[in-house]
Structure 1
């Protein structure tokens, strides 16, 4: 995997908002902004689901997948989980 300035090509594409696979997913930055614009916070989502703040962050960044967390984030921002994570929705 090619690395430029410590960032892999895949991560560069994600940061640019493109997965390079056709369907466009939301970047972590876009997901976090949408949560804030919806009047929510990652912490409130975590408390509601009885998970850690870190679990929410890991799902947002695609480090781990959790259908329950993905569905709640999607509900909060008014989208379907597949629209946010087209290749990683659980």
Structure 2
């Protein structure tokens, strides 16, 4: 099978159609869950990108933070300063 990306994120209209089949479906809760999952996945992609870009493992990042004597958010800014410029829609 070829490697490809596929995004199938149901909109409110599709959720309402599903409600006709699954009467117990709460489309608001389902939409909130899907939005939360989408946000988490995008955040995780940004985090992984920042670690890769700076040639860090997760344990190395936390080790550096713990021995730096700085507050973690200050160290994070030095590592992840360009995180917002990376697109994670792939």
TM bin, normalised by shorter chain, reads under 0.3
Give the helix-richer structure, 1 or 2: 2
TM-score (norm 2): 0.27
Higher gyration radius (CA)? 2
Give the strand-richer structure, 1 or 2: 1
